[in-house]
Chain A
Amino acid sequence: MHRQNRRIRGIGALAVSVGLLLAACGTQGPAASDGASASPEGSAPVDSPNAPAEAVEVEWFVGLGTGENEEQIATEEEVVAAFNEAHDDIELVLTIVDNTEAATTLATRIAAGDAPDIIGPVGIRGLQSFGDQLLDLTPYIESSGVDLSGIEQSLIDAFNVEGAQIGLPTGVYPSFIYYNKTLFDEAGLAYPPHEVGEQYEGQDWTWETVRELAMQLTVDAGGNDATSADFDPENIQQYGLDAQFTENDARAWSTIFGGSGSAVADDGTTAEWPDNWREGLQYFYDGIWVDHFIPNGTAVQALADGNTFQSGLIAMDVVHQWYTCCIYPAEGDPTVSDWDIAVLPTGADGEVTSKLHADTIGIMSSTEHPDEAFTAMTELAANADLVQLWGAMPAIESQRDAFFGAIAPWSGLGAPELEIDWNVSVQMLEFPDVPSHEGFMPNFQEADSANKDLGNRLWNTADLDLDAELDAHVELLQGIFDEGG
């Protein structure tokens, strides 16, 4: 009896131990059955209650680009539910991952042989990490007869990598100048041009014209502008120009101010920093440290923690279409309640260049259900509600009027009615940077990081010999390229 009790106690102890272990290692509940696929809010995946048992499951992985913000999830869930209602043979499952974790999560899942079927929206930069893992859609496009005539060929080509069509464009985000009309009015200056080719106060609209204008709009604590001999650069209150939210990427700043280019030569292995990029970066650097009309890294942090245009103390700001996400006209002091957009000027190369961001949705080459995934992907890519939700100008031209008619994320936030000239955005789409400033480099992640280190240094360090810095940077890039090769 005594021995039996001991045995029972022993078995009990074992059961408790196993229970504790399972509790410690187990899942949180049915909603989090896949840790890698749980959304930050723990809401994914979303299944259709009516999906038949034999339906093929296709997983859509969101988080590499936009689409993972809390306010976007409900609409995405509705789209998925509607898709599942309409397709008895496919069960689309939505997985949302926080943007900061998405690339790592996806890589881990690929390594574990558990890759999702569809990924996106994802931009050109994001694709550099996973582009070679995507399915060539060409045969599926041809066999399905999907109509791509409503999309500019240049946008389709943006996702054609070495002959493989790895995605279809969903949304595009040209860049242009957001300008604060209140600051122009206070300075008694005319607004910048809204048409490509239009002059500004009798001068050609070039970056040199922008420099002069921006200096007049840069004001110190004493009320002197940057053209004045009494201007105090140590106490600047308002800046004429910025190019915010570039992640300090030197390629982005070089493209904005210098035009299209690439850090890798045509042979695909040699590092370079083309002359027009050097000029562009010099313009940017002098704008910060010599003419003082662009805020440096420290000043940017002080201006609405990096959302500089929102501070109300930036007169002009080069940002993409997606920036409408982040203007809150009723917030801050001063507020940015009256603004519009203007075209980018002509660069030193004689060209207008609007660096372009573009999103796609792609299919992982490891998918076991490419046909079903293609069906789901094409419907998602063409869904106007989703593209509107993501703040992107639709890649499908016929959807653009409706997009611009409805775009006003600031409405209801106490902002006055604004008449934004969205024709500027459409015009800028005709001048994309080719090759893309987010495009291919060997050993991409490390090279990209090095470019951002360079941008960070330029942003925070005065009195640099930029040519010497760039020579050293090219050498560094070459080492990174070689290491990747």
Chain B
Amino acid sequence: MALTPGSGTAPAAAVLPPARRGRAFLSRESLSGLIFISPWIVGFVAFAALPMIASLVLSLTNFDPRRPDEIGFIGFDNYAQMLRDPILLESLWVTVRFALLVVPLSLAAALGVAMLVNSTLLAGRNVFRTLFYMPMQIPIVASTVVWIGVLHASSGWLNYGLEAIGLPGPNWLQSPTWVGPALAIMGLWGIGNMMLIFLAGLQSVPTELYDAAKVDGAGPWTSFRHVTLPMITPVLFYNLIIALIATFQYFTQAYVISNGRGDPDRATLFFNLNLYREAFEFFNMGYASALAWLLFVIVLGLTFVLFRTAGSWVHEGGSR
């Protein structure tokens, strides 16, 4: 018995003439959809997929853009070189150390601000929401330049404030010890997006749960600990993933404050800045491509680990 079209089974296509097969496979709606997303597809292929493939190929070469004729295949030498590169280890440690500081800090700050602007006790909540989000509209380079002024050791507002309360202001941007915290403070300026996502999460918590908790005698902290926090764990998880990826891609602020050198004493030589220097300052394009793939693998690995642990702490649909 021949199968009829529309039975939903794969062999159906085999009995159709080629033209109809194509039409069945690509309905008009599908075709229109593909046409409309074709700019994205072309853009993705041209500006993401092909460069990724190119970087993978380049990572197996000694490519120097100044001497394109001398390009040669060197196998996995660039990857082997990573094992002998002390600067790479330093840059990884700078990035990990910064992530350990800034990811929890920015998550806590964004959640705190989101709770604040979600509170019914706050007058003009919409105004505050806008104000806290507004820094996101300022280009990173511009805001970093402003922060350089704020953090200036002798003329910065922050140190003026510290001195006013009797505390000695550190040399934020010149001290290897303080430049990390300085960048973390600078990072708090950009928590607007995270705050907005937390806010959406907070607003999706059913009020009945708070009412029930109240009936059971829960105070604000207990209510937060046992109702709010569990219910927003999906949002927390999302923000955590995004923050972690962003931290491993941290570049612009470090580039601006150190003129692209990772000063002072390589304390701001983040992984991405080191990669940039290898590619565009030292012109080791092959090695830089290998570094880019290492970064990809690290971030992919961390994301995988987080997803594997998510089942034990992220509530989905009311259950863990």
In the complex, per-residue mask of B266-302: 1 if CB is within 8 Å of any chain A CB, else 0: 1000000000010011110000000000000000000
Determine how close the nearest CB of chain A comes to the CB of B66; give it in whole angstroms: 5
Determine the distance from Cα of A301 to Cα of B172 in the docked complex, in whole angstroms: 12
| B38: Cβ under 8 A from any A Cβ | yes
Q: Which of B17-43 contact A (CB under 8 A)?
A: 28, 31-32, 35-36, 38-39, 42-43
Contact assessment for B171 and A298 in the assembled complex, using a CB-CB cutoff below 8 Å: yes
B265–A24 contact, CB under 8 A?
no
Find out whether the CB atom of A302 lies under 8 angstroms from the CB atom of B39. Answer: no
Q: Do the beta carbons of A298 and B153 come within 8 Å of each other?
A: yes
Mark B40-83 against chain A: 1 for CB-CB distance below 8 A, else 0: 00110010000000000000000001111000000000000000
Cα–Cα, bound, A18→B261 (Å): 41
Contact status A17-B65, CB under 8 Å: no
User: Is B7 among interface residues, defined by CB-CB distance under 8 A?
Assistant: no
Verify B261–A449 contact, CB threshold 8 A: yes
Q: Write out the residue numbers on chain A whose beta carbons fall within 8 Å of the beta carbon of B263.
A: 456
Given the known inter-chain contacts A111-B66, A302-B154, A449-B282, please indicate yes or no for A13 contacting B32, CB distance below 8 A: yes
> Which single residue of chain A is at the shortest CB-CB distance from B33?
A13
The reply to whether B38 and A17 form a contact with Cβ atoms under 8 Å apart is yes
Contacts of B266 in A (CB 8 A): 453
Q: Shortest CB–CB separation between residue A298 and chain B, in angstroms?
A: 5
Would you give the 0/1 interface string for A98-133, flagging 1 where the beta carbon is closer than 8 Å to chain B?
001001101110110100000000000000011011
Which residues does chain B contribute within 8 Å of A302, judged by CB atoms? Answer: 153-155
Is residue A457 within 8 Å, beta carbon to beta carbon, of the partner chain? yes
B264 at the interface (CB under 8 A from A): yes
Q: A167-186, CB under 8 A of B: which get 1 and which 0?
A: 00000000000000000000
Contacts of A24 in B (CB 8 A): 39, 43
Chain A nearest Cβ from B218, distance in angstroms: 52
**CA–CA, A24 and B39, complex, Å:** 9
Given contacts A13-B32, A302-B154, whether A104 and B43 have CB atoms under 8 Å apart is: no
Q: Which of A6, A13, A104, A111 contacts B36 (CB 8 A)?
A: A13
A460 adjacent to B174 (CB under 8 Å)? yes
Select one of B68, B154, B155, B174 contacting A110, CB under 8 A. B68
Whole-angstrom CA separation of A200 from B191 in the bound complex: 61
Residues of B within 8 A of A111 (CB): 65-66, 68
A113 to B67 Cα, complex, angstroms: 10
A445 within 8 Å of B (CB atoms): yes
Chain B 69-123 residues near chain A, CB threshold 8 A:
none
Distance between Cα atoms of A24 and B266 in the complex (Å): 38
Q: Output the least CB separation between B82 and chain A (Å).
A: 13
The count of chain B contact residues (Cβ–Cβ below 8 Å) is: 33
B153/A17 in contact, CB under 8 A = no
Do A17 and B280 touch (CB < 8 A)?
no
Within 8 A of B (CB), among A437-461: 445-446, 449, 452-453, 456-457, 460-461
CB–CB A449/B66 < 8 A: no
B residues within 8 A CB of A268? none
Q: CA separation between A100 and B255, bound complex, in Å?
A: 12
Chain B residue contacts of A460, Cβ below 8 A: 174-175, 264-265
A104: which B residues are within 8 A, CB to CB?
A: 280-281
B123-139: which residues lie under 8 A (CB-CB) from chain A? none
Main secondary structure of the interface of B (DSSP, over half): loop
Indicate whether B315 reaches chain A with its CB closer than 8 angstroms: no
CB–CB A17/B36 < 8 A: yes
B90 CB to nearest A CB, Å: 11
B38, B46, B155 — which one has the most chain A CB atoms within 10 A of its CB? B38
- Bound Cα distance A457, B260 (Å): 16
| A393–B274 CA distance with the chains assembled, in angstroms | 38
Instruction: Give complex CA distance A20, B283 in Å.
Output: 34
Residue of B32, B66, B260, B277 near A129 (CB, 8 A) is B66
> Cβ of B36: which chain A residues have Cβ within 8 Å of it?
13, 17
Which residues does chain A contribute within 8 Å of B282, judged by CB atoms?
445-446, 449
CB nearest to B65 among chain A residues: A111
Residues in chain A near residue B28, CB distance under 8 A? 6, 10
Residue A14 is within 8 A (CB to CB) of chain B in the complex? yes
In whole angstroms, what is the CA distance A20 to B32 when docked? 16
A40 within 8 A of B: no
A125 CB → nearest B CB, Å: 13
Contact B153 A456 (CB under 8 A): no
Task: Give 1 or 0 for each of A18-52: 1 = CB within 8 Å of chain B CB.
Answer: 10110011000000000000000000000000000
Q: Which residues of B contact A6 (CB under 8 A)?
A: 28
At the interface, yes or no: A233 with Cβ under 8 Å from chain B?
no
B66 with A301: CB separation less than 8 A = no
Which residues from A are CB-within-8-Å of B35?
A: 10, 13-14, 17
Q: How far is the CA of A103 from the CA of B65 in the complex (A)?
A: 11
Whether A10 touches B38, Cβ cut-off 8 Å, given contacts A24-B43, A110-B68, A449-B281, is no
Complex contact A17–B39 (CB within 8 A): yes
Q: How far does the alpha carbon of A132 sit from the alpha carbon of B70 in the complex, in Å?
A: 13
0/1 string, B186-201, CB within 8 A of A gives 1: 0000000000000000
- Smallest CB separation, B67 vs chain A (Å): 8
A453 and B42 alpha carbons, distance in the complex (Å):
43
Considering only CB atoms, which chain B residue lies closest to A107 in the complex?
A: B65
Is A297's CB within 8 Å of the partner chain B?
yes
Partner of A107, one of B152, B260, B265, B283: B283
Contact partners of A103 in chain B: CB under 8 A = 281
Measured CB to CB, the closest approach of chain A to B85, in angstroms, equals: 9
A13 contacts which chain B residues (CB < 8 A)?
Answer: 32, 35-36
| Residue from A20, A106, A297, A445 in contact with B281 in the complex, judged by beta carbons closer than 8 Å | A445
Alpha-carbon gap, A130 to B66, bound state (A): 7
Q: Which residue of A lies closest to B154 (CB)?
A: A302
Option from B152, B155, B264 in Cβ contact (under 8 Å) with A456: B264
> Quick one: CB contact mask for A53-67 with B, threshold 8 Å, 1 for yes?
000000000000000
Report how far A131 CA is from B27 CA in the complex, Å.
60
Which residue in chain B gives the minimum CB-CB distance to A110? B66
Q: Please, which residue of chain B has its CB at the minimum distance from the CB of A14?
A: B35
Q: Which residues of A contact B280 (CB under 8 A)?
A: 104, 107
9 A-B pairs closest in CB distance: A111-B65, A302-B154, A107-B65, A21-B39, A445-B282, A104-B280, A111-B68, A13-B35, A107-B66
Starting from the known contacts A17-B35, A18-B39, 19 additional A-B residue pairs (CB-CB under 8 Å) come to A10-B28, A13-B32, A17-B36, A21-B42, A21-B43, A24-B43, A25-B43, A107-B283, A110-B68, A133-B67, A298-B171, A298-B174, A301-B152, A302-B153, A445-B281, A453-B266, A456-B261, A460-B174, A461-B265
Which residues in A have some Cβ–Cβ distance to B below 8 Å? 6, 9-10, 13-14, 17-18, 20-21, 24-25, 100, 103-104, 106-108, 110-111, 113, 129-130, 132-133, 297-298, 301-302, 445-446, 449, 452-453, 456-457, 460-461
A-B contact pairs, 5 of them (CB 8 A): A10-B31, A17-B35, A20-B39, A297-B264, A301-B173
